[in-house]
Structure 1
Amino acid sequence: MKKSVALNLPLVLATAALSLCAGVAQATTDASSPAAYAIRIPVALAADAPLQRVALPAEVLVRLQSPGYADLRLFNGAGQPVPMALAGAAAAPAPEASVVLPAYPILGSATMATTAGSAPLEGLSLRIEERQGQRVVQIDTPSTAGAQAAQVVRGALLDARGLQQPVARMALDADLPAGQPVTFQVQASQDLKTWRPLAETVLYRADAATTPAAPGRLGAEQIDLHRTSLQGHYLRVTWGDAAVTLRGATLVTTHSAVARERVSARLAMPPLTQFQAQPRELVLALPFATPVAALAITPPGSNVLIPVRVLGRNHREQPWSPLASAVVYKMVLGGKEQASGPIELGGASVREVKIEADPKTPGFAAAPEVALQFEPVQLVFLASGQGPFTLAAGLTGATGAASAFLPLASLVPGYQPQQENSLPLAQVDVARADITGGPPAGGALVPAAAVSSGVSLRSAVLWGVLVAGVAALALMAWLLLRQTQQADKQAAAAPTDAA
């Protein structure tokens, strides 16, 4: 007699489905394989430097699938990821200028009581006189107001009222007494009456006759004024009763910090006919998740002005979130064409962007020029292993991937703020980039697709999974019913076979 073996087909189907899902997940998130990334760029290292940095080009930023840069790696020649950290790029140095201000001496009586390191200037009578083409500032006390007693220089005034830019630091042009530390105090006032302290420093000049090997001067020659605005102010420099001759001071002014130059990439806009024949509403799908700092929109034509709103979302099931509003224009003023600046988005990470024109305007006659701006980012790494080194970015399914970045303090021994900006800069060879599926139109030219009003890919996938699950359950129920019927028939036929 043949013995039938019942095959548990539902269990087999479920196991196969789980195995398939696991295989797909592993294939789409294999972060340890350079070949799994969308772009791979050769990196040329600086010579003889274990710690280096590399600036991320636009070709990398427009392929990242994680807003936290989790799908970014730097591999050595053996295909191993190297230790790395993420850092912002350094701001451009602020331009500086030097201004030399002459010193106007402040005179006082030689019999005035003084304290160490300071001059008793409060409550004194102050006047400014012109003497033989020179301005002299004189102070009088009740005991010397009516008589010309022996006078000494107690300090000096500097006229800083004309300085337009903040002052970063100042250096004194002064002769010091030998072998005596001198404390200089710097104060500011708008009316020569009420003074507020700014800074102080101690300078010392060694006696060359007694100590010929000693350095000429000790102390902080540059007095830090912390970018203080001195427009409309006087400066007062005092040094007690030391025998000091102050001829003037050099002040270093600095402009506001120059913003870091952003990384830019243009959008390859589809024709306006693909935007649902709606000239006032452009909905674009972005193929990356990198945070966008700003959006530059240039309308077509000449002498055009359109108020717009920019909204964003990550998938079609989400409501639109407003990101910014501005007026975009392009017009000729004074014989020169002028265009509106970029619209700040504040580092938004969205996969769909909507540009809405004001309904009171005709909208866009053609698709506008749109450029994306990203904040500059650099990768700090340890060049471990042998070359060649490869920068890889863009990994499917990396939205929730774990970050591979170390803290800068762990990567750089004895780390100090902004120390990464002094590391040697490695170079990326974008021209030799290996891009999966071929490069987009023009390297950093991002292909933006118009979003249709049909079912989104996310919804289609979810509905497909739902339908497949229902079909699998129906198949499992049918197989169970069939097995049950076969078992009942075998049980009914068993006594006949025994007889």
Structure 2
Amino acid sequence: MKSTPCPWRALVGAALVAALCSATGLARAAADAAHPDAYAIRIPVTPTADAPLQRLVLPAEVLVRLQSPGLADLRLFNGAGQPVPMALASVASARAPHDTVALPAYPILGAVGTAGPSALEGLSLRIEERQGQRVVQIESPAAAGSAAAQAVQGALLDARGVQQPVVRMALDADLPPGQPVTLRVHASTDLQHWRPLAETVLYRAEAAGPTASAAAAGAVPGRLGNEQIDLHRADLKGHYLRVTWGPAAVTLRGATLATTRGPAVRERTSARMAVPAPGGNPRELVLALPFATPVAALVITPPGSGNVLIPVRVLGRTHREQPWQLLASAVVYRMASGGTEQVSPAVELGGASVRELKIEVDAKAPGFAVAPGVTLQFEPAQLVFLASGPGPFTLAAGLPGAGAGASAFLPLASLVPGYQPGHEDTLPLALADVGRADIPAGPPADGAVVPAAAGGGGLVTRTAVLWGVLLAGVAALALMAWLLVRQTRAAGPQVPPAPDEIA
């Protein structure tokens, strides 16, 4: 007896195969890096006329949609839908205006035989007037008993009147010939407790070397080493500076400080985050980031008004199965004094690429009854591209599944003929019209605002898709089994044929 074929089984199987093929085709089309329609945002670009090589500063609307930490899901298409050759470059730092402050050096006298920086550690200093000149005496019982046998141990600089941050320092010193000399710079407010600032090694190459001032901008002929000591915008208001050396003898006449009158050297690209309301734990706020662009810093604005001070920790992770990693600890504050308001600076994250951030309030603080303001800061970046092909040009960013995708960036040296460092900043600037941005999926553009999303719950997109396909397959198999059982019951039990019928 032949079994009757089951049309339902073939129909369900065909439907399942078609659904899987369709899902695979959609995923493949969505991840097509060469198709502009596959990207999360498309922005019209207006290039400069008659300029083959140009640069384009990436707006925040692009940075908050990229899915690759290395910006691999970023393309610039021409009017024919073809990607144009491009390279990725950083944005040059803005040069702030500098002033110079000349400081005389006061010799530090100590007992003979105790020369070297270690002889000054843990000892306090006092300033004395001797024959119309200032000298600095080591405050110690041993030094008091050996006043007749003293030698120069270092030099003191009075920087208490310096109001602006100090970028670098140049020393006016005579060095011994043929000996490398290590010079160390320390700072103090009370001449007793010192903190290190910087150090440098100088070498006078020729025996009859010049003794010209090292305060000039260029290096003194015959000397090796960095004579411009970088102080990294140190705040020296109300501080003394101590310069020590050893073991060779050095004559230090003074120093020239270069101060800056400008703000931070480079302005970062910012995007405001729409923070969800705090959950059941007011000391913990978890944020989901829908992008993979490295975050340079986080600006946390305390809620409410008046004087506020909240110690916080910022942690991050790339997926929910990963333990939290500490990114930074800081104190978030807002204080009003003398009619002016002081707010805490940005919390530096060091370019962390994470998918979730957690702001954790110290146990001694009351926590967040209302969500604080959060602003994301990114290091500025720009594209250098060849305006090839017809217009209009379109900047596309944000490709699903592009975490491990191949980058389309070329080396700057291969894109720019005769490239020299900094040459990209002299190229004409193209403009991205973010007001006419095309966002196929998601809400319309609302400036550089990251939508609110509470982390710690739900599933990531890829996991949700995989679970959806798995559940659809299980449902199809259950349907096939149910139809098979139903068909078997409708056919009834099969009675074996009688012996006479076999005969």
Q: Normalising by structure 1, what TM-score?
A: 0.64
Q: Is the counterpart of residue 297 in structure 1 residue 334 in structure 2?
A: no
Cα distance in 2, alignment partners of residues 232 and 456 from structure 1? 56
AA aligned to 1:399 is: G
Residue of 345, 359, 364 corresponding to 2:363: 359
Change over 3 Å in CA distance of 1:415–1:317 after alignment to 2:
same
Cα distance in 1, alignment partners of residues 492 and 379 from structure 2? 71
After TM superposition, give the deviation of residue 374 of structure 1 in Å. 0.3
Cα distance in 2, alignment partners of residues 434 and 327 from structure 1? 39
Structure index of larger Rg: 1
Q: Is the counterpart of residue 228 in structure 1 residue 228 in structure 2?
A: yes
AA aligned to 1:391 is: L
Residue of 50, 53, 60 corresponding to 2:52: 50
AA aligned to 1:406 is: L
Cα distance in 2, alignment partners of residues 497 and 444 from structure 1? 85
Which residue in 1 is equivalent to 2:62? 60
Whether contact under 8 Å (1:93, 1:258) holds in the other structure is: no
Change over 3 Å in CA distance of 1:416–1:441 after alignment to 2:
closer
Matches for 1:197-212 after TM superposition, within 5 Å: 197=203
Whether contact under 8 Å (1:293, 1:348) holds in the other structure is: yes
After TM superposition, give the deviation of residue 91 of structure 1 in Å. 1.7
AA aligned to 2:59 is: P
AA aligned to 1:47 is: A
Which residue in 1 is equivalent to 2:345? 341
**Cα deviation per residue 1:180-217 (whole Å; 9 max; x = unaligned)?**
xxxxxxx95269998955699xxxxxxxxxxxxxxxxx
Q: Is the counterpart of residue 313 in structure 1 residue 317 in structure 2?
A: yes
Coordinate RMSD, CA, aligned: 4.5
Whether contact under 8 Å (2:312, 2:361) holds in the other structure is: yes
After TM superposition, give the deviation of residue 298 of structure 1 in Å. 1.0
Matches for 1:17-416 after TM superposition, within 5 Å: 17-93=19-95, 95-96=97-98, 166=168, 188-189=173-174, 197=203, 223-224=218-219, 228-229=228-229, 259-270=265-276, 272=277, 275-300=278-303, 301-416=305-420
AA aligned to 1:266 is: R
Whether contact under 8 Å (2:79, 2:393) holds in the other structure is: yes
**Cα deviation per residue 1:218-270 (whole Å; 9 max; x = unaligned)?**
xxx9955656249999xxxxxxxxxxxxxxxxx99686996321101111223
Change over 3 Å in CA distance of 1:199–1:490 after alignment to 2:
farther
Cα distance in 2, alignment partners of residues 341 and 386 from structure 1? 46
Cα distance in 2, alignment partners of residues 329 and 6 from structure 1? 72
Which residue in 2 is equivalent to 1:210? none
Whether contact under 8 Å (2:437, 2:445) holds in the other structure is: no
**Cα deviation per residue 1:269-293 (whole Å; 9 max; x = unaligned)?**
23x3xx2232211112222221111
**Partner secondary structure for residue 59 of structure 1:** helix
Cα distance in 1, alignment partners of residues 205 and 452 from structure 2? 56
Change over 3 Å in CA distance of 1:253–1:364 after alignment to 2:
closer
AA aligned to 2:431 is: Q
**Partner secondary structure for residue 467 of structure 1:** helix
> Percent same amino acid among aligned pairs?
62
**Partner secondary structure for residue 308 of structure 1:** strand
Cα distance in 1, alignment partners of residues 178 and 33 from structure 2? 69
Runs of 5+ consecutive residues of structure 1 not aligned to the other structure: 101-160, 170-186, 201-220, 234-250
After TM superposition, give the deviation of residue 381 of structure 1 in Å. 0.8
**Partner secondary structure for residue 49 of structure 1:** coil
**Cα deviation per residue 1:85-130 (whole Å; 9 max; x = unaligned)?**
1111112235455899xxxxxxxxxxxxxxxxxxxxxxxxxxxxxx
AA aligned to 1:298 is: T
Change over 3 Å in CA distance of 1:355–1:497 after alignment to 2:
farther
Whether contact under 8 Å (2:286, 2:455) holds in the other structure is: yes
Cα distance in 2, alignment partners of residues 328 and 282 from structure 1? 14
Cα distance in 2, alignment partners of residues 65 and 297 from structure 1? 24
Q: Is the counterpart of residue 427 in structure 1 residue 412 in structure 2?
A: no
After TM superposition, give the deviation of residue 450 of structure 1 in Å. 2.5
Cα distance in 1, alignment partners of residues 90 and 495 from structure 2? 76
Which residue in 2 is equivalent to 1:122? none
Change over 3 Å in CA distance of 1:3–1:310 after alignment to 2:
closer
How many residue pairs are counted as aligned between the two chains? 383
After TM superposition, give the deviation of residue 347 of structure 1 in Å. 1.3
